[in-house]
Amino acid sequence: MCCELPADLPADLPAVKPSNDPLLSGSAHGAVLQVAARGRALTRREIARCLLPIVTLLLWAPVHAQSVQLEELTWTELRSRIAAGATTVLVPIGATEQNGPHMVLGKHNVRARVLAAEIATQLGNAVVAPVIAYVPEGSIKPPEGHMKFPGTISIPESTFESLLEGTARSFKQHGFRDVVFLGDHGGYQRSEQRVAARLNREWAADPGCRVHALKQYYDVTQSAYVAALKSRGYSSAEIGRHAGLADTSLALAIDKSLVRSGALNAEAKTGTADGVDGDPRRATAELGQLGVRIIVDASVNAIRAALAARQ
């Protein structure tokens, strides 16, 4: 993006000395000063054209510098963040799998990223790693479970655990003291725990870094959140275990575009043949917000307790 000089300026204007201020250097700064040197007032259009690059930079840079998402930072920004005390990294783990006819395949990935960001923000000393989207989903051939539906991606359990291990080792190398696995799916919780236990045993003599498989993040979706929904009159059959009322409400609360509202009309009854366990038809974002608060609060409290135990 550049700032062009007004067409009515003569070609023999004196050169303008460049500014040392990066926000005032370049063509926009030069154009403003050259017009000012002639004593002619800038039109509103000329002012807007000249200031737009500066305004864009002022708005863009702070947003990314303050982001908790590791992939939105430069390596120097991350280094500074770690040096300033942000030594906890959250590793959101999702899944790419069928979620019924009414919900997108990447539901877990979006949910894990958004919830991890909220948890990191509340912690104040954490950043969020990119979402791990490829997880074990069972046998590919013959297909089992969600692999019977197009779009589900499954990797071997050993590959998944190697991925988690390599991720944790990388963050230890970069100076993080606590690596926290946030698993949004029930199928790989034990893998998280095995990797954390294995690395913590290996690093027992080195207090520099610990790995935490945060069970509370997932467990409350099967306990406290379900209890909250039941207290509002919803049955276990309606709440469901996959793509039902609870699951769909969480998706609506996170990002309503994850749910195809047309597939949730009163006549759209689905079942296990469609990849659904439960009844999502009465799902709402308001019900989902109950779950968001429960998950975030439980996770923040559990992480703070784990970090305090290391002091």
Read off the pLDDT of residues 157-180 as tens digits, 9 standing for 90 and up.
999 999 999 999 999 999 999 999
pTM of the model: 0.79
Read off the pLDDT of residues 41-74 as tens digits, 9 standing for 90 and up.
667 666 656 565 544 444 444 445 589 999 999 9
C-alpha angle 132/138/142, rounded to 5°? 135
pLDDT at 94 over 70: yes
Instruction: Look up tokens 């949730």; give the residue.
Output: 264
Are the C-beta atoms of 89 and 178 separated by less than 8 Å? yes
Q: How far is CA 106 from the centre of its chain?
A: 12
Task: Provide the token pair at 115.
Answer: 């919830």
Task: Provide the token pair at 35.
Answer: 């017009």
Alpha-helix residue ranges (DSSP H) falling in 91-213 = 107-123, 157-173, 189-202
pLDDT-wise least confident of 10-19, 84-93, 179-188: 10-19
| Residue 66 confidence (pLDDT) | 85
Fold classification of 70-309 is Rossmann fold (3.40.50)
Domain boundaries, the chain: 1-66, 70-309
